[in-house]
Amino acid sequence: MANFRKIGIITSGGDCGGLNAVIKGVARRAYSSGIEAVVIPNGYAGLYNLVDMDNIVALTADRISSIQASIAGSEAGHSRVKIGKIQDPTKYERIKNGLKKFGIDGLIISGGDDTGSVVVDLLAQGIPCVHVPKTMDLDLQSYSVGGDSAINRIAVLTRELKTTGMSHNRILVLEVFGRYVGHTALRGGVAAEADCILIPEIPVDFDVVYEDMKRRYFSRIERSDVKAGTYAIVVSEGIKTITGELLYNESVGVDAFGHKKLAGAGKYVRQQLEKRLKNDPEVKEFMKKVGMYAPGVYEAPEVREVVPGHIVRSGHTSAYDVNFGEKAGAAAVILLIEGKSGNTVVNVTGNKIHYQSTAEIIKRREVDLSEIALFESLGTCFGRKPQKYDYELLVETSTKIERFL
């Protein structure tokens, strides 16, 4: 068991729900173990610049109380700085000097895959650190704090958008964050009973989307006594074109981690549907039949894309993420004390702390496509011809590690 007197907390990458719960879990557990917890502000940028700081914030009992676990974002601040990319050959010495200056002998670092790769680097430099999984994208091998909060936000936004969609008989496309995987779009979309969910893991056939939209949207309006209807699509920002290209705008550039900033998936989906609506002779007949047609003004249903962007990771943290965050933060302190540096907290079940090497946890996890066919059998469109749900029956013989998604 290693002897730690002071540990630093870093939150890094994109912020999201649950991080303040992680901070509180770390600080309270450290406090109860007689260890001082301090904030290293603004992610790895702060770690790099620590040596030049005059003072840092200690998470005393009073200071911890001033942080609300249920508020998203992070009291410790964020940056998308990856230490390995800093153009300074003395960067690791500088970091070590900063830690020495403030007497910090271990780090708890919460972040996603890029953040985790720095945890591996720092450990190789002899700096003890434990990783708490965090990303609204849910693309790590374990559950990561922030995922459930983002899913809930997406579900609420999608459900609420339907009210304006119904009033205007519009087809609505909600483009959501998630990078190269569709976990949050999928779960949020299912929770909101979206008609169609488009994810990066499934190349989109827009003819399939159009036919599904037409069938459901037309019949909804035809059957409605007030001739109202909508069709809701949740699209992950990382979907690819039929030729396999990501939809990003060159002018938006890359972030400090070097990732392309994705943009334009919602717009692309809208354009694909508008093109088909314009060229479909049945559309005019439908508009006339339901009393929507106005020559030269309103000849086809409208499609609108909505891009909430950072709103999906702002605001409030879900109850699940507060629970997971506090447990994971506290467990990270225990792992650090127990000399388990270079590992990621996977979960806490009862008195068992599950952990795995950070290098393994940060490998990208995509949506399990075998489950998609189940939702297709329930009527959701995924931009492909529905496939048969090929199931297998398994009897449980032991308690498994809880895996959220």
Find where tokens 């591996």 sit.
120
Q: Output b/e per residue, 368-387; b: 16+ Cβ within 10 A.
A: eeeebbebbeeebbbbbebe
Q: Which region, left, alpha or beta, applies to residue 146 given φ > 0 means left and ψ of -120 to 50 means alpha?
A: left
Out of 28, 29, 80, 162, point to the residue binding ligand F6P (CB under 6 A): 80
Residue 233 interacting with ligand F6P (CB under 6 A): no
CA–CA separation, 260 and 263 (whole Å): 9
- In this chain, which stretch among 176-184, 193-201, 351-359, 371-379 interacts with ligand F6P, using CB under 6 A? 176-184
Residue 255 interacting with ligand F6P (CB under 6 A): yes
Out of 42, 135, 142, 144, point to the residue binding ligand F6P (CB under 6 A): 135
Closer CB to ligand F6P, 169 or 318, in the complex = 318
- Active-site residue identified among 137, 195, 212, 321: 137
Supply the minimum distance, in Å, between the C-beta of residue 15 and ligand F6P: 8
Strands (DSSP E) along 169-216, which ranges?
Answer: 171-176, 196-198
Closer CB to ligand F6P, 13 or 98, in the complex = 13
Concerning whether 114 is annotated as a catalytic residue, the answer is no
Interface residues for ligand F6P in 258-317 (CB under 6 A)? 262, 313
Closer CB to ligand F6P, 177 or 268, in the complex = 177
**In 3D, which of 130, 102, 132, 120 has the Cα closest to residue 6?**
102
- In this chain, which stretch among 97-105, 171-179, 276-284, 317-325 interacts with ligand F6P, using CB under 6 A? 171-179
**In 3D, which of 333, 358, 344 has the Cα closest to residue 132?**
344
Interface residues for ligand F6P in 104-123 (CB under 6 A)? 112
Supply the minimum distance, in Å, between the C-beta of residue 238 and ligand F6P: 8
Out of 137, 175, 212, 305, point to the residue binding ligand F6P (CB under 6 A): 137
Supply the minimum distance, in Å, between the C-beta of residue 235 and ligand F6P: 13
What token pair was written down for 360? Answer: 């393994």
DSSP letter for 163, please: H
Closer CB to ligand F6P, 153 or 179, in the complex = 179
CA–CA separation, 327 and 241 (whole Å): 40
Q: Give the largest Cα separation in the chain, rounded.
A: 78
For residues 146 and 125, the answer to whether their CB atoms sit within 8 Å is no
Out of 8, 17, 178, 200, point to the residue binding ligand F6P (CB under 6 A): 178
CA–CA separation, 230 and 169 (whole Å): 5
- In this chain, which stretch among 24-32, 134-142, 186-194, 351-359 interacts with ligand F6P, using CB under 6 A? 134-142
- In this chain, which stretch among 54-62, 99-107, 131-139, 351-359 interacts with ligand F6P, using CB under 6 A? 131-139
C-alpha 297 chain-centroid distance: 40
| DSSP codes of every residue in 8-20 | EEEE-SS--TTHH
Find where tokens 């729900």 sit.
17
DSSP letter for 232, please: E
Interface residues for ligand F6P in 2-21 (CB under 6 A)? 14
Closer CB to ligand F6P, 73 or 178, in the complex = 178
Interface residues for ligand F6P in 310-349 (CB under 6 A)? 313
CA–CA separation, 182 and 194 (whole Å): 14
Out of 82, 179, 214, 276, point to the residue binding ligand F6P (CB under 6 A): 179
For residues 39 and 56, the answer to whether their CB atoms sit within 8 Å is yes
- In this chain, which stretch among 132-140, 197-205, 209-217, 279-287 interacts with ligand F6P, using CB under 6 A? 132-140
Residue 134 interacting with ligand F6P (CB under 6 A): no
For residues 136 and 15, the answer to whether their CB atoms sit within 8 Å is no
Chain residues binding ligand F6P by CB under 6 A are: 14, 80, 112, 135-137, 177-179, 237, 255, 262, 313
Catalytic positions: 137
